Amino acid sequence: MVVRVIPVDPFDLVIFGGTGDLARRKIFPGLYRRFQAGQIPAEARIIGAARGEHDDDEFRGMIAESIAEFVPEARRDADSLGAFLQRLFYIAIDARGEQGWAQLKQTMRIDVVQAYYFSVAPALFGDIAERLTSHGIAGPEARIVVEKPFGRDLASARALNATLALHFAEGQIYRIDHYLGKETVQNLMAVRFANILFEPLWKSEYIDHVQITVAETVGVDGRGAYYDKSGAMRDMVQNHLMQLLCLIAMEPPYHFDPDAVRDEKLKVIRALDPVPSHDIVRGQYLAGSGEGGYLEHSENPQSRTESYIALKVAISNWRWKGTPFYLRTGKRLRARASEIAVTFREPPHSIFDDAEGWRENVLVIRLQPDEGMHLMVMIKEPGPGGMRLTQVPLDMSFAEALGPEAEDVPDAYERLIMDVIRGNQTLFMRGDEVEAAWAWTDPIIEGWEERSDRPQPYDAGTSGPEDALMLMHRDGRRWREIR
């Protein structure tokens, strides 16, 4: 299957923080891949901006190094790289000062799409937004892209929304959650809403429970100081896991349109019940496999920040009453694996006397590695000797289904940046969604802070704290293996 590439309009894209880690690891390699795919028009320009003094050629050299580091050798070639680098420019700009803004104003064209990517610390978002408008740089159709974290609680998210709203309309603000850019996540919507098969069963009458797992093998490493102020709840659940939950739980939108989709997601977040403390397990990893434990990376030897969290979440609406959603995410776990597993209920009556081997139907949506979906179904075990049942997967691996072209499927950042240029906000979080997510998250965090709960230690390389197993066992269920 050939992956179609639909060109975008000419644009000027400014990457604030263009010399930073995210820009070098994700944004520029992603733009290069889109360039190779022929999606970036000849008139497009990409302008890096940061305080450091560099000329265009030095900056191009830095980005060439990043591409050599972060794009596999087989996927790059000197000709396309040379042509791509000619699209890059650099302006030294201080987000908090006056340096560089006049030059940026002179550089930006008014007759092409203008996009400004804020790949800088969130504390600078307001400064940049203010200067883009006070210097008359951003046109009325300009778009701004803001990175996570979007606030650390409801109050700070509201304040950030209010600051951005002073300078840009909601329709111009693209809040990135890169999970929404993943191919499988969008496929989830295609599977749910482009097939008649699933939607009639997509409710608590037929679905026993849903598990959402985002497991990482890496620890906090050099980011201990940042992570200590965040933790797994703020860093992963409030945004990424919440977005996945919304896509599973939302009602069918009337159209695949940004506000229609985001209205439905918002309704899910508002229907989430508060989570009692007995439905939460927090953990902190210990040293193992030659690497230090969480506390050794933290600046605070008494840190109570969680590197793991598991929660049982209830949605109070007609569709989901009685179907728990179990969420878990953590660092230094057994394997790097992200998946959503939807477990269906038992058939109301079994006609097979010997139902040995019977297992529930499970729809597994795998985000990484091996993006794809499979549906576990029961069949007859082959051969004579009566009716014995066995479970097999109906498999849809994207790599297999698309063949070698699967390599050309854009990664999350590539897709999202192209969506910004196209002006499509469907896969970006709206301000009210982010605030609703914090409104649900805040009391959970306040609860454990008030009780001074300590996270439970867990061994690195395992599937997390023992109590997380109990969270499921006491309901007669179990987590899927992390692998």
Q: Which residues bind ligand NAP (CB under 6 A)?
A: 16-23, 50-52, 93-96, 119-122, 124, 147-149
Instruction: Pick the closest to residue 31 from 43, 15, 17 (CA basis).
Output: 15
Q: Provide the residue count of the chain.
A: 483
Shortest Cβ 226–ligand NAP spacing (Å): 8
Instruction: Pick the closest to residue 213 from 395, 348, 366 (CA basis).
Output: 366
Shortest Cβ 273–ligand NAP spacing (Å): 29
- Residue with smallest beta-carbon separation from ligand NAP: 20
Shortest Cβ 164–ligand NAP spacing (Å): 14
Tell me if 285 sits within 8 A of 264, measured CB to CB. Answer: no
For 80-191, strand residue ranges (E) read 88-92, 113-118, 143-146, 173-175
Residue 217 burial by CB count (10 A; 0-12/13-18/19+): exposed, middle or buried?
A: middle
Residue from 167, 178, 209, 240 carrying the catalytic annotation: 240
Is 374 known to be catalytic?
no
Q: Could you tell me which residues come within 8 angstroms of residue 199 by beta carbon, excluding any fewer than 6 positions away?
A: 192, 193, 252
Nearer to ligand NAP, 18 or 126 (CB): 18
Nearer to ligand NAP, 95 or 310 (CB): 95
Instruction: Pick the closest to residue 213 from 181, 246, 177, 237 (CA basis).
Output: 237
Nearer to ligand NAP, 65 or 141 (CB): 65
CA torsion angle 237 239 243 246 (round to 10): 70
Shortest Cβ 47–ligand NAP spacing (Å): 13
CB atoms within 10 A of CB 156: 14
Nearer to ligand NAP, 26 or 76 (CB): 26
Tokens of 438: 């914090």
Distance of alpha carbon 122 from alpha carbon 125, whole angstroms: 5
Instruction: Pick the closest to residue 414 from 54, 70, 139, 83 (CA basis).
Output: 70
Shortest Cβ 314–ligand NAP spacing (Å): 30
Strand order in the sheet with 11-16: 88-92, 45-50, 11-16, 113-118, 143-146, 173-175
CB atoms within 10 A of CB 236: 22
Shortest Cβ 21–ligand NAP spacing (Å): 3
Nearer to ligand NAP, 235 or 279 (CB): 235
Nearer to ligand NAP, 220 or 342 (CB): 220
What SS3 class is residue 42? coil
Nearer to ligand NAP, 100 or 330 (CB): 100
Shortest Cβ 25–ligand NAP spacing (Å): 6
Nearer to ligand NAP, 14 or 23 (CB): 23
Tell me if 150 sits within 8 A of 434, measured CB to CB. Answer: yes
CB atoms within 10 A of CB 447: 15
Tell me if 428 sits within 8 A of 180, measured CB to CB. Answer: yes
Residue 295 burial by CB count (10 A; 0-12/13-18/19+): exposed, middle or buried?
A: middle
Nearer to ligand NAP, 62 or 272 (CB): 62
Q: What is the DSSP letter of 382?
A: S
Segment (H or E) for 260 = helix 258-270
Shortest Cβ 298–ligand NAP spacing (Å): 18
Tell me if 95 sits within 8 A of 131, measured CB to CB. Answer: yes
Shortest Cβ 88–ligand NAP spacing (Å): 14
List active site positions.
240
